[in-house]
């Protein structure tokens, strides 16, 4: 596997503070902000602070601390959104699009967390 990270992608610019964002949560490992074109009443993107193109890149090359820190941050974002089913929230869907099949637009790993309504089945039938 070989990935080249383009540091001119829009999320890299957000991480450098060159473009504003509507921050929901931030720590050493992750930044979470509201999607600019929400597809659900609550739609937040969580990105790692390191330069990873997508999830398989991150899984292969991030340090253990980054993987754990990013995963814990996703849990904190769910809490900040108030969507954890175990805490009375209505639940959520996590999506990480990669490459052509996933229709990934921004080439910096991001996890979508969507909630605020019942989101329906995950994928449509393909036959
Ligand atoms: P994906 O198709 O998974 O790459 O999704 C990229 C997402 O980034 C889309 O949902 C866009 O609406 C969102 N997006 C693009 N630019 C921005 C931005 N400046 N701030 C917040 N979200 C953005």
**DSSP string of 73-121, one letter each residue:** HHHHHHHHHT--GGGT----EEE---HHHHT--SSS--EEEEESS----
Q: Specify the CATH number of the domain 1-38+49-94.
A: 3.30.428
Residue 35 CB less than 6 A away from ligand 1: yes
Name the residue of 11, 12, 40, 105 whose CB sits within 8 Å of the most ligand 1 atoms, as the mutation to test its pocket.
Answer: 105
Ligand 1 centroid from CA 36, angstroms: 6
Provide the total of helices (H) and of strands (E) in the chain, helices listed first. Answer: 4, 5
Do the Cβ atoms of 19 and 118 come closer than 8 Å? no
In this prediction, residues 100-106 reach a mean pLDDT of 97
Residue 56 CB less than 6 A away from ligand 1: no
Residue 103 CB less than 6 A away from ligand 1: yes
Residue 19 CB less than 6 A away from ligand 1: yes
* Predicted pLDDT at 122: 86
DSSP state letter for 7: T
> Looking at 7-11, 14-18, 43-47, 122-126, which range is the least confident one?
122-126
Identify which of 7, 1, 33, 20 has the alpha carbon closest to the alpha carbon of residue 106: 7
Query: What is the domain partition of the chain in residue ranges?
Result: 1-38+49-94
In this prediction, residues 44-59 reach a mean pLDDT of 98
Average pLDDT across the chain, whole number: 97
For the cut 70, the answer to whether the pLDDT of residue 1 exceeds it is no
Ligand 1 centroid from CA 90, angstroms: 23
Identify which of 18, 46, 16, 17 has the alpha carbon closest to the alpha carbon of residue 34: 46
């Amino acid at each position: 596997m070989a990935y080249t990270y383009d540091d001119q992608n829009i999320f890299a610019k957000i991480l450098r503070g060159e473009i504003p964002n509507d921050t929901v949560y931030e720590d050493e490992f992750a930044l979470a902000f509201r999607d600019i074109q929400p597809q659900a009443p609550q739609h937040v993107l969580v990105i790692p602070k390191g330069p990873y193109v997508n999830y398989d890149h991150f899984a292969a090359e991030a340090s253990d601390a980054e993987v754990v820190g990013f995963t814990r941050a996703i849990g904190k974002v769910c809490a900040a959104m108030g969507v954890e089913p175990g805490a009375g929230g209505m639940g959520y869907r996590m999506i990480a699009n990669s490459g052509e099949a996933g229709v990934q637009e921004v080439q910096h790993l991001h996890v979508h967390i969507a909630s605020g309504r019942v989101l329906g089945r995950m994928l449509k039938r393909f036959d």
